[in-house]
A and B are shown apart, each in its own frame.
Chain A
Amino acid sequence: MFAPIEDLYRLAPELVLCTFGILVMLAEPFVPRKRSGLVAFLALLGAGAALAATRLSWAHPGTAFYGLVRVDDFSIFLHFVVGAVAVLVILGSRDYLEREGLHRGEFYALVLFATAGMGVMVSAQELVTAFIGLEISSISSYILASFRRNVPKSNESAMKYFLLGSFATSFFLYGVALVYGATGTTLLSRMDSASGNPTLLRLGLGMIFIGLAFKVASAPFQLWTPDVYEGAPTPVTALLSSGPKAAAFALLLRIFDTVFAASQLWVWAIWVSAALTMFAGNLAALVQSNVKRMLAYSSIAHAGYILVAFAARNEIGTAAVLFYLVAYALMKLGAFTMVTHLGGEGERRLEINDYAGLGSQQPAAAAFLTLYLFSLLGLPVTAGFLGKFYIFNAALKSHLVWLAVLLAINTVISAYYYLRVIVVMYMREPQKEWAATPIPRAVGLVLVLTAAGTLYLGLFPNYLMEFATQSAVLPR
């Protein structure tokens, strides 16, 4: 009884990613140092092939492997997101790795493995499968965070990520165990019909929420984020802030929309967490002097915005979450890629004040960064604006007036620290001479793609929004 070929189609993106990851790993020792671009190219090919495989599995919707994973519009949407993130991260990291003397094939292999884990997470229909996906992506990210292995900051970042990440995972797992005990199943679709101990079920779902709240960095479990983001190599920070977050949100959404008890229990937790997260992120970002750290706090704040759409508990809200995840991934990837390039050798140029005079010295870089910051702030004509608009809309439709008001207040607060960077770039005289390095081609491509995406979604959101609305209908 071989698995039907359909099942393999439904798991095609993960299979492709893992195969290419293994190929990259195997190729690494055999490819001479001088031809190291070959490994990067292979990895890029793998990430691109994964996108194609996603298109293939789209044609075969349904559950696979005895109901463990499910291909539907929702999982396809997020597969495209994490696949595209992988492509952009691989494109953007080659020059960084060369510059820092860290060019190893394992970097790309780990990016591909992490993406495979995220893919499992977003299509998982069963909790232990989700756990495996979560761990595949987390363990790969732990190693990626420590990739600058002779830099104590990178070590420390990896250690904190590892300790707090596995702490959160064990909460998630304990929740899974309790849910299993309460309902006798770990299949999400069967949980509603199973008669079980409701207290145990609630306890388990609460634990699962805590575990995933850690992963998406929502308050009060967000403390690890700035440290990890600051210490990790910047391309890795770009990956961490976009891919795993999208996957963890997808898993939350999937459980939230499939299991009735979860949607009952989590509503208040999400309300409170959304409000806390927005303030925790934005208020702390106000006083940061390091760009990476500031962007880390800003990503906490954005997790809070996404949770507002969550709290709306309707399909408009889910669509808003999906749209925002795309917009957010684009602007965060763009911003971190720019920071990577500007950081220079050894990542020394990271203070906001170091960016003084950038507007006149490197006008292109400054313009790109300004666009991303505008989008993060949510000014019109950018993806961030429409993303926030949809979230606002969803919140008001569900009569969450207070959360909508808090969202508006937070946007105003965030204006201060985003605009400050822009003011420093354009209106301050540089205090130190920084050598202006030309933007490498691959990095330039990432910047152009993310900037174009940000503008495109800001001007013509309809196509993506239609796709998101269509994907937001989760089958119970």
Chain B
Amino acid sequence: MPSRYIPILIYAILAAAFPAVTLIIFKFIRPDSTSAGAKLKPYECGIPPESDARGRYSVRFYIVAILFVIFDVETIFLFPWAVQFNALGLYGLVTMFVFLGILIIGYIWLYKKGALEWV
């Protein structure tokens, strides 16, 4: 049934056309920016960079990112529980609170260890 795929085809054409059309239109209406100097900067938008991009970052960035990944992904178990909340009832609720309790203990441990302090 190829006819069922026509919406996808239309969507694909639109998706391809949108950037092409906008780029062409803007080509005609925007002012020339290459001479302004901002074009030559590493980041064209926002604040001008203060130092070399390959400088040292505080290791805190990595630690916070790693911690974020864990706590973020653990919430995945909340979704099936929320969808089946009525069917799981009290048992599900208690189990989920035990699970969240363990996560909170992990958080307390992190806090006491000073992993979240921004030195």
Contact flag (A, B; Cβ within 8 A): yes
Chain A residues within CB distance 8 Å of chain B: 1-3, 22, 25-26, 28-30
Interchain CA distance A29-B114 in the complex, whole Å? 10
Contact pick for A1, options B89, B112, B113, CB 8 Å: B89
Interchain CA distance A413-B101 in the complex, whole Å? 54
B108 touches A26 (CB 8 A): yes
B109 within 8 A of A: yes
B78 within 8 A of A: no
B112 touches A22 (CB 8 A): no
B105 touches A22 (CB 8 A): yes
Smallest beta-carbon distance A180→chain B, Å: 18
Q: Indicate the member of B89, B108, B109 with the most A CB atoms within 10 Å.
A: B109
Interchain CA distance A1-B88 in the complex, whole Å? 8
Contact pick for A29, options B89, B91, B102, B109, CB 8 Å: B109
Smallest beta-carbon distance B98→chain A, Å: 11
Q: Which residues of A contact B105 (CB under 8 A)?
A: 22, 25-26
Smallest beta-carbon distance A403→chain B, Å: 46
Interchain CA distance A29-B90 in the complex, whole Å? 34
- CB nearest neighbor in A for B106: A25
Smallest CB-CB A-B distances: 5 pairs: A29-B112, A2-B91, A25-B109, A1-B91, A22-B105
Interchain CA distance A22-B104 in the complex, whole Å? 11
- CB nearest neighbor in A for B90: A2
Q: Which residues of B contact A1 (CB under 8 A)?
A: 89, 91
Chain B residues within CB distance 8 Å of chain A: 89-91, 94, 102, 105, 108-109, 112-113
Query: Can you list 5 A-B pairs with a CB-CB distance of less than 8 A?
Result: A1-B91, A3-B91, A22-B102, A26-B109, A30-B112
| Count of chain A to chain B residue pairs whose CB atoms are closer than 8 Å in the complex | 18
Interchain CA distance A381-B108 in the complex, whole Å? 52
Interchain CA distance A28-B115 in the complex, whole Å? 14
Interchain CA distance A29-B106 in the complex, whole Å? 12
Chain B interface SS verdict (over half): helix
- CB nearest neighbor in B for A22: B105
Smallest beta-carbon distance B112→chain A, Å: 4
- CB nearest neighbor in A for B102: A22
Interchain CA distance A118-B90 in the complex, whole Å? 30
- CB nearest neighbor in B for A18: B102
Q: Which residues of A contact B89 (CB under 8 A)?
A: 1
Q: Which residues of B contact A2 (CB under 8 A)?
A: 90-91, 94
Q: Indicate the member of B90, B102, B112 with the most A CB atoms within 10 Å.
A: B112
Smallest beta-carbon distance A16→chain B, Å: 15
Smallest beta-carbon distance A411→chain B, Å: 47
Interchain CA distance A22-B91 in the complex, whole Å? 23
Interchain CA distance A22-B112 in the complex, whole Å? 14
Q: Which residues of B contact A25 (CB under 8 A)?
A: 105, 109
Q: Which residues of B contact A30 (CB under 8 A)?
A: 112
Smallest beta-carbon distance A23→chain B, Å: 9
Q: Which residues of A contact B90 (CB under 8 A)?
A: 2
- CB nearest neighbor in B for A105: B109
Interchain CA distance A22-B109 in the complex, whole Å? 10
- CB nearest neighbor in B for A3: B91
Smallest beta-carbon distance B9→chain A, Å: 32
Interchain CA distance A208-B102 in the complex, whole Å? 31
Q: Which residues of B contact A22 (CB under 8 A)?
A: 102, 105
Smallest beta-carbon distance A21→chain B, Å: 11
Interchain CA distance A414-B62 in the complex, whole Å? 47
Interchain CA distance A30-B89 in the complex, whole Å? 37
Interchain CA distance A26-B105 in the complex, whole Å? 7
- CB nearest neighbor in B for A23: B105
Q: Which residues of A contact B108 (CB under 8 A)?
A: 26
Interchain CA distance A260-B6 in the complex, whole Å? 49
Smallest beta-carbon distance B57→chain A, Å: 19
Interchain CA distance A268-B11 in the complex, whole Å? 54
Smallest beta-carbon distance A2→chain B, Å: 5
Q: Which residues of A contact B109 (CB under 8 A)?
A: 25-26, 28-29
Interchain CA distance A139-B94 in the complex, whole Å? 27
Interchain CA distance A392-B38 in the complex, whole Å? 79
Interchain CA distance A1-B112 in the complex, whole Å? 37
Interchain CA distance A72-B102 in the complex, whole Å? 29
Q: Which residues of A contact B113 (CB under 8 A)?
A: 29
Smallest beta-carbon distance B17→chain A, Å: 40
| Other 14 A-B pairs with CB < 8 A, given A2-B91, A2-B94, A26-B105 | A1-B89, A1-B91, A2-B90, A3-B91, A22-B102, A22-B105, A25-B105, A25-B109, A26-B108, A26-B109, A28-B109, A29-B112, A29-B113, A30-B112
Smallest beta-carbon distance B114→chain A, Å: 9
Interchain CA distance A1-B90 in the complex, whole Å? 8
